[in-house]
Structure 1
Amino acid sequence: MIRIENLYKRFGRLQVLEGVNFQIEEQGVVAVLGPNGSGKTTILKTILGMVLPQEGEIYFDNQPVLNNWDYRNRIGYMPQIARFPDNLTVRELIEMIKNIRDVDANEHALIERFGLESSMDKKLGQLSGGTKQKVNIVLTFMFDSPLLILDEPTAGLDPVSLIRLKALIQEEKEKGKTFLITTHIMSLVEELSDQIVFLLEGQIFFQGSVQELKDQTGQKNLEHSIAKILESDA
């Protein structure tokens, strides 16, 4: 589904990505991990066309994404911090996004699942960060997108909503969906991910399963495996 070839990106003098290559062909959950500044969010934004690389190619279903915008209609994107217009209500925002995408949406079950019924006519500027994140979830999952990109999706969620989000991801994965997720919650990665792409200084240090990373680092859990990598690089 996604193929990245020899991707380079710098911002001014800062080289963020340096010759990144990887591909994702099967459905499942791929966790993109790495320390702050390693290029995780930049990779997600290049796939979405929000950031243009200096070099390299990105392919979606074997078609280059450069100058091709239609593929984005097949992607659900959940940014780490959603910036909504403060003067719109939740209901107005959802209707606006539905009109923009102009495809079938199934928001009602998600609104009920995350307890947003009482917030539908509230202004977005009046909502807490956790409630805004629930709105973010509804906007991301309400379309039948084969690829979902989630950038730190657990930010601000209460424990009940986190459990519901994990169950939702698992359900959508079982329907054949593909996920790219960045997160600092290692328990989430161990529970849901089929594959890890670990970035270090703009390059891919490791790609494989959680168990393969544990075996490579000689550690019993993912958190200690990541710590081992970072200690070795220090």
Structure 2
Amino acid sequence: MTVLELKNLTKTFGTTVAAKDISFELNANEIFGFIGPNGAGKSTTLRMIIGALSPDGGEILMDGEPLSGNPHYKKNIAYVPGDVNLWGNLTGEEVIHFFMKVRGYTNIEKKKHLIAQFRLDSKKKCKTYSKGNRQKVALICAFLSEAHLLIFDEPTTGLDPLMERVFHEQLMHAKSEGRSILLSSHVLSEVEKLADRIAIIREGEIIETGPLKTLRHITRTEYIVKSTQDLSELQALPYVHHYMETDDGTHMRIDNDSIEDYLAKLSHYRPYHLETLPPRLEDIFMRYYEDRRKLS
């Protein structure tokens, strides 16, 4: 079941095209990673989804219905931006209570549990909070919500590694409850760990969409080789990249469509150790961006 669908969504600011023909679908009970560098159009797209910006073209559908014909769609969305502003003279708990009151949430035990999990000193006024603590307040409010679509825009900015882990645990718990998550981030390891599918955005355009396992064709596989013979000649081959000799062996990345040729060539060097490292999302992302720059 499709929870959210974007069809050719476009937004311009003067002569700047912030989003151009953005199209993707978010399915029920799915974590969808939306990745790209700062300025690529991620936040603009998310703000159009939540109604903070009006698109210049295209259409947004939730549960198959256009948002333009459903004035109450926002009750099914919880959104956390990358930089949260709160009411300075209210305590963290007062802000959380306010959002619970406005949206009709009554699960006090869950509120206490989340405050404890995120280690938030909820009795302090928000004006004393660091960026990370303000982020915690917003995340707690989102996970307390009963919205079936959770949208996070760079949500772990300002969080320490322990709190990042708590966020990841809560995200997976929300998914287990049947909710759908749209996660925008430039932290590629985070998206790789959590997302079922990803979309890569570059200069306002989607350039690739799909499950991570099907995107590995646009990257290279890393090999660690040990041999008694000199392997340095291999770095002259056109499909060998990032050749590097280290204490644990010789590292090199091979174009996936040339692996058969590489292994045939490597056999002449009689390796006694051969280790393969799977492509990472970071490799996919950077390879795709490098290739697109060469074409542009």
Give TM class, smaller chain. Answer: over 0.9
Identity percentage of aligned residues: 32
Which one of the candidate residues 214, 217, 225 is aligned to 1:215?
A: 217
Partner of 1:110: 114
TM-score (norm 1): 0.94
Could you tell me which runs of 5 or more consecutive residues in structure 2 were left unpaired when the two chains were aligned: 222-278
Partner of 1:230: 289
Structure 2: distance between partners of 1:21 and 1:102: 33
Which one of the candidate residues 3, 9, 12 is aligned to 1:10?
A: 12
Q: Deviations over 1:145-175 (max 9, x none)?
A: 2110001111111111111111111111122
Q: Deviations over 1:116-148 (max 9, x none)?
A: 2xx222110011222111112111111122110
Could you tell me which runs of 5 or more consecutive residues in structure 1 were left unpaired when the two chains were aligned: none
Structure 2: distance between partners of 1:36 and 1:114: 27
2:206 is the counterpart of 1:147: no
Which structure is larger by alpha-carbon Rg, 1 or 2?
A: 2
Asked if structure 2 preserves the Cα contact closer than 8 Å seen for 1:148 and 1:178, the reply is yes
Residue 107 of structure 1 aligns to a residue whose secondary structure is: helix
2:162 is the counterpart of 1:160: yes
2:97 is the counterpart of 1:38: no
Structure 1: distance between partners of 2:197 and 2:71: 27
Q: Deviations over 1:56-110 (max 9, x none)?
A: 1100111111263311111111111111111111121112112221244442211
- Aligned residue pairs: how many? 232
Structure 2: distance between partners of 1:69 and 1:157: 34
Partner of 2:263: none
Asked if structure 2 preserves the Cα contact closer than 8 Å seen for 1:75 and 1:147, the reply is yes
Residue 189 of structure 2 aligns to a residue whose secondary structure is: helix
Structure 2: distance between partners of 1:47 and 1:104: 27
Q: CA deviation at 1:18?
A: 1.2
Q: Write out the 4+ residue segments of structure 1 that deviate beyond 3 Å after TM superposition.
A: 103-106
Structure 1: distance between partners of 2:160 and 2:71: 35
- Aligned amino acid, residue 287 of structure 2: K
TM-score (norm 2): 0.75
Residue 66 of structure 1 aligns to a residue whose secondary structure is: helix
Q: CA deviation at 1:53?
A: 0.5
Structure 1: distance between partners of 2:186 and 2:159: 14
Q: Deviations over 1:189-213 (max 9, x none)?
A: 1111000011122221111011222
Which one of the candidate residues 72, 78, 89 is aligned to 1:70?
A: 72
Structure 2: distance between partners of 1:199 and 1:134: 27
